[in-house]
């Protein structure tokens, strides 16, 4: 448990789970950060949101000789990543759906660690052509395996309805503006409330 978990402000790591060139992830994560920043807990200084962009961390495909469960990290990049994740009390995972699952870069980043995730609450927001529900199902299973408690419900953004597309229409490279329906912001607020309550210990977090 992070030392700030009970009394100080809660640090929510906003994990951006895509890394490809031209990705829409930063727009989505920016909107989530802005929306979470309007939450009463953030306004009261009880919660801060830290963006954790996997494109910035650039972890290689898992190359540790010992599984993370043993905490025996041999590489400097793993120790750096460990510190980033250990510093957070809770997480929001922002994931697109790639071929009905999470991007490999996100799965890889989770696989690198174990104790740093364990016992901490997580919220999930997905986006995609079909909203990303299948990616969320996979992510829930993965997060459960590293002992995280996923707060109920998730937020889903549809590429066709939660973005505003230019006059020339929808295309993979079109410069679309993120413009989620108002209900999506309310859903993010509910998720953040769940995370803050769980991180503060108001809701028991199951640990394996």
Ligand X SMILES: Cc1cc2nc3c(=O)[nH]c(=O)nc-3n(C[C@H](O)[C@H](O)[C@H](O)COP(=O)(O)O)c2cc1C
Element (H, E) at 83: helix 76-86
Q: Does 132 bind ligand X (CB under 6 A)?
A: yes
By CB under 6 A, name the one of 10, 12, 14, 25 that touches ligand X: 25
Q: How far apart are CA 17 and CA 96, in angstroms?
A: 7
Cβ nearer to ligand X, comparing 121 with 132: 132
Applying CB under 6 A, the site for ligand X has a residue count of 15
Of the listed pieces 5-13, 20-28, 85-93, 180-188, which binds ligand X according to CB under 6 A? 20-28
Of the listed pieces 17-25, 44-52, 66-74, 106-114, which binds ligand X according to CB under 6 A? 17-25
Q: Does 38 bind ligand X (CB under 6 A)?
A: no
51-70 positions binding ligand X, by CB under 6 A: none
Q: How far apart are CA 87 and CA 127, in angstroms?
A: 26
Q: Shortest CA distance to 119 belongs to which of 191, 206, 47?
A: 206
**Contact partners, residue 59, CB within 8 Å, separation at least 6:** 77, 81, 105, 108, 109, 112
Q: Does 121 bind ligand X (CB under 6 A)?
A: no
By CB under 6 A, name the one of 5, 11, 18, 35 that touches ligand X: 18
Q: How far apart are CA 58 and CA 87, in angstroms?
A: 18
Q: Shortest CA distance to 84 belongs to which of 151, 10, 11, 145?
A: 11
- Residues forming contacts to ligand X in the complex (CB under 6 A) are 18, 20, 23-25, 96-100, 128-130, 132, 159
């Amino acid at each position: 448990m992070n030392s700030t978990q009970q009394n100080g402000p809660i640090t929510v790591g906003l994990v951006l789970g895509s890394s490809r060139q031209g990705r829409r992830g930063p727009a989505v994560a920016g909107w989530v950060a802005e929306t979470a920043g309007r939450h009463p807990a953030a306004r009261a200084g009880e919660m801060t949101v830290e963006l954790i962009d996997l494109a910035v961390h650039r972890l290689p495909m898992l190359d540790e000789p010992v599984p993370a469960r043993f905490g025996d990290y041999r590489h400097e990049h793993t120790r750096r990543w460990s510190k980033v994740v250990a510093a957070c009390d809770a997480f929001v995972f922002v994931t697109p759906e790639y071929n009905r699952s999470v991007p490999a870069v996100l799965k890889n980043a989770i696989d690198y660690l174990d104790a740093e995730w364990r016992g901490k609450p997580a919220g999930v927001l997905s986006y995609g052509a079909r909203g990303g529900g299948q990616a969320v199902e996979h992510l829930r299973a993965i997060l459960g395996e590293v002992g995280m408690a996923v707060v109920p419900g998730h937020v889903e953004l549809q590429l066709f309805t939660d973005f505003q597309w230019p006059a020339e229409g929808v295309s993979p490279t079109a410069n679309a503006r993120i413009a989620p329906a108002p209900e999506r912001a309310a859903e993010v607020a509910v998720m953040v409330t769940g995370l803050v309550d769980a991180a503060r210990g108001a809701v028991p977090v199951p640990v394996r």
